[in-house]
Each structure stands twice: as structure tokens, then as C-alpha cells.
């Protein structure tokens, strides 16, 4: 059996030096490497979630502006959860279909991070409008802003994802005790998990990587995995199959150690994905994992029309699945060791369209939960609810982010145990921002 996981061969001419810069000279995890397991779980909301309707500030001034400007998209109090008081005293409410999310907020297991997005550096409306400062490449384009979130390099062109670079660091420090990849996707291969020399493993929920065939055929497949095909797509395909074969062996042995979870997950796509992640976490030690990053996704958020109905459906799938996952981590005794966070292409225009929807925008509010999260609080500032106001790029309510993805990610990764020197390599734009820790992970561990 071929067991060495394929090594990414990047074209040296175009790969940034960042991707190839060695982590070897860096200090090890801030915490002792033998410390307990930690996992980050990304829930990517594809299509651009209108986070203006995920969470709403309920103080009189903001709620009046929200109701007036959002018009047909404004949620009435009957379509919102009961207002929760944040640690700072300002009340917020969640979309009524996010009742489970609201309950985790109330029990201080979930935090809201307001107005996060890709930035090269802090940016004002005046700077944006006069084009006097660098802005992310191809703003408002789905594909580009998904990649900005996944790479945390807003300028574009990164061949690696930020979680992939975290994986490179984990591998360079031998923090995990096996060659099983640190990045695990239950939603296909994604750039977020592609590192300079670590590659994602992808498993469909309930799927298997085991190959079936006649013994002689399987032996033939194995024998071909070491064939060299030069600089070619054939080589790239062969490397992927090699990865699959080596991952299958480890995965199979580990999953055989699992026991049925008592937590019941909703029978939705996102429910099945999160359930699969919980099953992997249960057997993480058999995979030799001390640090692991997971990726799952829910699509359909591109609500240019009939947004109210669409979000009712999607949040109705998302919220119970998130709670079930949190409960599963409690069942497994790792609630404090697993932190789940959302990402999305962008948020959407505050001003509605004539088709009862909203268009592509920028900064968005995000959810982070887990036992280690400083929950029950909003981190960062809601934008001023004013079309053409100080946070708007133009006149439609496309919020210029006030927290960068780099800061959001670095806060998560600081908890994960990355030292500042590693953070600087994973998030090369981080130094452009005043703080690398937004504070939502409680007190920093280093």
C-alpha cells in the first residue's frame, strides 16, 4: 500500500514566496504540543448571507433605521427572537429561525462578530470613494470574495488558503502524530484548506474513501501511484488518488473505533455534514490529530429576490444543525476544545431591490460558538444604518468592514495556539491592522 501523502508541486514562477516560506524556525505551539485536542470548524455560507437579517441591533435608534430603510426586507419583532442583552448592555435579536443560535448566545456559548470582511488595510468611506487606498480585488464578485475569505489575502492571487497555511504550520511542527491531513472537508475540495505542502482530505458525509475492485486490480492501482508523469494533469490526478488511498487506510481504521453518537442531528445536508465532523472528532486521537480544521458549507444565500422566504428555509436548516453539533461536542466532552465559526462571500445591500431581495455587498456579521468562546457579546461595531452614511461604499448600504478577516482568523488561531510569528505568515496583511486579537476567544492563551 502506497502511504506517503502526495506533495504539492507548485509552479515556482507564480507561487508567492509566502507559500513556500518555511515554518521550521518558528516556536512551537504556544501551548504545550501535548496539550489537549483543539479543532476549528468553518461553516461557509455560500452565495453571500444577508447578515443584516441574521442579527439586528434592537436599540430604538438602530431598529427604527433598520425597519425604515430595509422596507420589505425588515423583520418585524414577531420575526425576531426576543431581544437579548449583550454584556455591554445593547440589546440584539436574531432572525426567528435562528432560535437555537439565540439560545447559545444567551447561554454565552456564542458570540457575534460585527462587520467582518476582506480588507488590505483599514479603510474609510472617503478613502474608498477616492480610490486612495488599496481595496480587495474584484469586490462584490462571488468567486473573488469567496477566495478572499478562504485565503485571507484580499489582494487576490493566493494559491493557498489560510487554513491550509495553518495546516502547513501544524505539519512543520509535527504537532499531529500522523501524516493524516490537518484540514478535513465534508464539502469537497476547497482552496481554504490548500497549503504550500499540506492538502485537504475530502469525505462526503457518510461516504468512504475505500476502493473496491478485484485484488489484482487494486494491486495494479497501487503500483501505478508511484509512476511519474512529469509536469502534467495526469500527475496531479495521480497525486490526488495517492492521497485518497493513504487517507482511506487511516480513516477506515480510525472510524472503526467510533461509537454511535447519542446526539440527534437534523436530516438536512448541513446536519449530515456536521454529524460527519462530530464522528471524525470522536476518533481524532486514532488519526493522530492534536489540531484539526474542518470545513462544511450551506449554499443558496444569493438572495437577489424573495429573500424572506429563502432565509426562512436556510436558517431553519442551519440553526438546529449548529446546536446539534454543539451538543455533540458536549456529549464527546470536547465542547471547550472545538470552536465553530461562519464565513460567507459577503453580506448584502441594506437597501432592498424591487424583487424583494438584496444585492452583493461587503462587510458581514458572523457567528462563533464553542465552550471557549467569550459568548453573549457582540465584538466590533454594527455599521451606521444610513444609506450613503459613514460605513457605506455608495448609497445602497454596502458596509465597509471594520474588522478584517485577518483579525477574525488570527483571533481564532491564537486560541488554536499559533504564536505571533506564525500568525504573521498565515495572515500576511495582519500587521496592517491595529490589533490581532478581537477578543472573542476569551483571554488569549499565550
Partner 1 sequence: MHLSRIRGFLAIFALVPCLAQAQQVSARAAARFLDQAAWGPTPASIAQVQSMGFSAWLAQQFALNKSDLRDQPILTVTGTSNSNLAPVQAEFFFNTASGEDQLRQRVAFILSQIWVVSQQSGVTQAYAYPPYWRLFRDNAFGNYRDVIKAVTLSPAMGRYLNMANNNKANTTAGTVPNENYGRELMQLFTLGLTQLNLDGSYALQNGNPVATYNPSIVTAMSKVLTGWTYPTAPGATAKNNNPEYFYGQMFAVEAEHDTTAKSIFGNVTIPAGQTAEQDLDSLLDALMAQPTMAPFISDQLIEHLVTSNPSSAYIQRISNVFENDGNGVAGNLQAVISAILLDPEARAGDDPSAQVAASFGHMREPVLFFSNVLRALNATVAAPNPISGDASNMGENLFNAASVFSYFSPLSRTEFNLVAPEFQIYSTQTAADRVNYVYTLLYGKPRGIRIDLAPFVNNATTAQALVSYINTNLMHGAMSSALRQAVTTAMASATTPMAQAQAALYVVLTSSEYQIIQ
User: In a 3-state reduction of DSSP, which class is residue 302?
Assistant: coil
Cα separation, 358 vs 172, in Å, equals: 44
Q: Interacting stretch for partner 1, rule CB under 8 A, among 194-202, 317-325, 363-371, 402-410?
A: 194-202
Cα separation, 103 vs 405, in Å, equals: 26
We find the least distance from the C-beta atom of residue 279 to partner 1, in angstroms, to be 15
Decide: 102 and 81 in contact? Cβ < 8 Å: yes
Decide: 104 and 110 in contact? Cβ < 8 Å: yes
Q: What angle in degrees, to the nearest 10, is found between the helix axes of 233-255 and 269-282?
A: 70
Please report, as residue ranges, which positions from 293 to 312 form the binding site for partner 1 (by CB under 8 A). Answer: 299-300, 302, 304-305, 310
Cα separation, 8 vs 199, in Å, equals: 7
Q: Which residues contact 293 (CB under 8 A, 6 or more apart)?
A: 39, 40, 41, 42, 163, 166, 167, 182, 183, 184, 193
Q: In 48-97, at which residue ranges do the beta strands (DSSP E only) sit?
A: 55-57, 84-85, 91-94
We find the least distance from the C-beta atom of residue 275 to partner 1, in angstroms, to be 16
Please report, as residue ranges, which positions from 164 to 193 form the binding site for partner 1 (by CB under 8 A). Answer: 185, 188-189
Show the binding pattern over residues 371-410: x = contacts partner 1 (CB under 8 A), - = does not. Answer: ----------------------xx-x--------------
Does residue 71 belong to the site contacting partner 1 (CB under 8 A)?
yes
User: In a 3-state reduction of DSSP, which class is residue 330?
Assistant: helix
Q: Interacting stretch for partner 1, rule CB under 8 A, among 8-16, 52-60, 109-117, 334-342?
A: 8-16
Show the binding pattern over residues 140-159: x = contacts partner 1 (CB under 8 A), - = does not. Answer: xxxxx--x--------xx-x
We find the least distance from the C-beta atom of residue 287 to partner 1, in angstroms, to be 14
Q: Which is nearer to partner 1, 362 or 416 (CB)?
A: 362
Please report, as residue ranges, which positions from 198 to 257 form the binding site for partner 1 (by CB under 8 A). Answer: 200-204, 207-217, 219-221, 223-224, 227, 229-241, 243-244, 247-248
Show the binding pattern over residues 86-115: x = contacts partner 1 (CB under 8 A), - = does not. Answer: ------------------------------
Q: Which is nearer to partner 1, 28 or 241 (CB)?
A: 241
Contacting residue, 47, 182, 376, 428, with partner 1 by CB under 8 A: 47
Q: Which residues contact 299 (CB under 8 A, 6 or more apart)?
A: 45, 46, 47
Contacting residue, 39, 41, 58, 139, with partner 1 by CB under 8 A: 139
Q: Which is nearer to partner 1, 13 or 25 (CB)?
A: 13
Please report, as residue ranges, which positions from 326 to 365 form the binding site for partner 1 (by CB under 8 A). Answer: 351-355, 357, 359-360
We find the least distance from the C-beta atom of residue 280 to partner 1, in angstroms, to be 13
User: In a 3-state reduction of DSSP, which class is residue 423?
Assistant: helix
Q: Which is nearer to partner 1, 128 or 416 (CB)?
A: 128
Cα separation, 202 vs 186, in Å, equals: 6
Q: Which is nearer to partner 1, 239 or 343 (CB)?
A: 239
CA distances from 101 to 66, 176, 370 (A): 21, 32, 12
Decide: 148 and 177 in contact? Cβ < 8 Å: no
Amino acid at each position: 500500500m502506497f502511504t506517503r501523502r502526495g506533495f504539492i508541486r507548485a509552479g515556482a514562477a507564480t507561487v508567492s514566496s509566502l507559500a513556500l516560506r518555511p515554518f521550521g524556525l518558528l516556536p512551537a505551539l504556544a501551548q504545550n504540543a501535548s496539550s489537549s485536542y483543539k479543532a476549528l470548524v468553518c461553516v461557509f455560507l455560500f452565495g453571500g448571507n444577508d447578515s443584516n437579517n441574521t442579527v439586528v441591533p434592537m436599540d430604538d435608534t438602530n431598529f427604527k433605521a433598520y425597519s425604515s430603510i430595509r422596507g420589505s426586507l425588515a423583520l418585524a419583532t414577531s420575526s425576531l427572537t426576543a431581544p437579548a442583552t449583550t454584556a455591554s448592555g445593547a440589546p440584539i435579536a436574531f432572525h426567528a429561525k435562528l432560535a437555537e443560535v439565540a439560545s447559545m448566545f444567551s447561554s454565552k456559548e456564542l458570540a457575534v462578530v460585527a462587520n467582518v470582511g476582506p480588507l488590505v488595510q483599514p479603510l474609510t468611506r472617503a478613502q474608498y470613494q477616492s480610490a486612495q487606498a488599496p481595496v480587495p480585488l474584484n469586490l462584490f464578485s462571488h468567486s473573488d470574495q469567496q477566495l478572499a475569505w478562504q485565503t485571507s489575502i484580499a489582494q487576490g492571487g493566493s494559491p493557498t488558503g489560510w487554513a491550509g497555511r495553518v495546516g502547513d504550520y501544524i505539519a512543520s511542527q509535527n504537532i499531529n502524530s500522523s501524516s493524516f491531513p490537518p484540514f478535513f472537508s465534508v464539502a469537497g475540495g476547497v482552496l481554504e484548506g490548500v497549503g504550500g505542502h499540506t492538502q485537504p482530505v475530502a469525505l462526503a458525509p457518510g461516504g468512504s474513501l475505500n476502493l473496491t475492485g478485484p485484488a489484482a486490480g487494486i494491486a495494479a492501482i497501487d503500483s501505478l501511484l508511484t509512476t511519474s508523469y512529469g509536469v502534467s494533469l495526469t500527475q496531479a490526478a495521480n497525486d490526488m488518488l495517492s492521497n485518497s488511498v493513504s487517507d482511506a487506510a487511516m480513516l477506515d481504521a480510525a472510524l472503526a473505533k467510533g461509537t454511535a453518537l447519542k446526539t440527534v442531528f437534523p436530516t438536512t445536508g448541513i446536519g449530515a455534514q456536521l454529524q460527519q465532523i462530530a464522528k471524525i472528532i470522536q476518533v481524532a486521537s486514532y488519526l493522530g490529530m492534536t489540531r484539526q480544521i474542518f470545513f462544511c458549507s450551506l449554499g443558496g444565500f444569493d438572495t437577489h429576490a424573495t429573500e424572506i422566504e429563502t432565509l426562512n428555509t436556510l436558517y431553519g436548516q442551519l440553526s438546529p444543525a449548529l446546536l446539534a453539533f454543539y451538543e455533540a461536542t458536549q456529549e464527546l466532552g470536547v465542547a471547550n476544545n472545538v470552536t465553530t465559526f461562519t464565513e460567507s462571500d459577503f453580506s448584502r445591500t441594506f437597501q432592498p431591490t424591487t424583487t424583494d431581495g438584496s444585492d452583493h455587498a461587503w462587510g458581514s456579521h458572523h457567528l462563533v460558538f464553542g465552550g471557549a468562546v467569550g459568548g453573549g457579546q457582540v465584538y466590533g461595531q454594527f455599521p451606521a444604518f444610513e444609506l450613503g452614511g459613514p460605513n457605506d461604499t455608495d448609497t445602497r448600504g454596502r458596509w465597509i468592514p471594520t474588522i478584517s478577516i485577518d483579525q477574525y482568523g488570527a483571533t481564532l488561531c491564537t486560541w488554536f495556539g499559533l504564536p505571533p510569528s506564525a500568525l504573521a505568515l498565515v495572515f500576511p496583511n495582519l500587521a496592517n491592522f491595529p490589533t490581532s486579537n478581537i477578543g472573542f476567544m476569551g483571554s488569549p492563551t499565550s
